[in-house]
Amino acid sequence: MDTAGGEFPNLRMHYQPKPCMHCAEPPCVDACPLGAIYRRDDGIVLVDASKCDGCQICLAACPYEVLLYDSAANLVSKCTLCSHRVDQGLEPFCAICCEGEAIYFGDLADPASEVSKLVASRNAYVLLPDSGTGPAVHYCPPMEPRGLP
C-alpha cells in the first residue's frame, strides 16, 4: 500500500499520550474511601499502596480513565510523575527519555519557566477543560509535517 502521495495523500497522525493529569482538584482523591490517593503540596497525585484495598471506586471517578487496576496485586496504580526524581530536583524519566523532545516538565505557575512559555506560545490545551479538575498536563497542537521523503 503506497501512502506517500498515493492512495492516502492527506493521511496524518499524531500520538497523544494520556498519563495521570495530576489535577488541581483530583476527583480520584475525593472518591477514595481510604485516603489512599492524595495530592502533594507540589501538585503530584500519588497512590499509597499500603492504604489501597483495590476497591476501584477511584477508577470510575477519574474522567480521564488513567488509573490502572492490577488484579494480581489488588491495587490501583498510576503515573507518579517520577516523584522520587522530582524530590531530588530531577526531571521525570518521560521528559528526559522522549527522543522527539515532545515532553516538557516545569513550573506552570512561573511565567518565566520554559514550560510556561511553551504553553503560551503554542496555544496549548488541556483535556476535558470543563471537568473542573484543573489538569496540570497540557498538550500543544501538532506541528506541521516537515516534508521528509
Residue 14 has pLDDT above 90, yes or no: no
Does residue 17 lie within any of the structural domains?
A: no
Does residue 113 lie within any of the structural domains?
A: yes
Structurally, the chain folds into a number of domains equal to 1
Does residue 147 lie within any of the structural domains?
A: no
Provide the sign of the torsion angle of the four alpha carbons 52, 37, 42, 119, taken in this order: positive
Q: What's the pLDDT band for 104 if we cut at 50, 70, 90?
A: very high
Does residue 60 lie within any of the structural domains?
A: yes
Residue 2 has pLDDT above 70, yes or no: no
- CATH code for position 91: 3.30.70.20
As a whole number of angstroms, the distance between CA 3 and CA 11 comes to 8
Count H helices and E strands in the chain, helices first. 5, 4
Does residue 75 lie within any of the structural domains?
A: yes
Does residue 10 lie within any of the structural domains?
A: no
Q: What's the pLDDT band for 148 if we cut at 50, 70, 90?
A: low
As a whole number of angstroms, the distance between CA 1 and CA 134 comes to 43
| Residue-level pLDDT at 149 | 64
pLDDT one-digit tens code per residue, 27-77 = 999 999 999 999 999 999 999 999 999 999 999 999 999 999 999 999 999
Q: What is the mean pLDDT of the chain?
A: 91
As a whole number of angstroms, the distance between CA 63 and CA 40 comes to 20
Does residue 99 lie within any of the structural domains?
A: yes
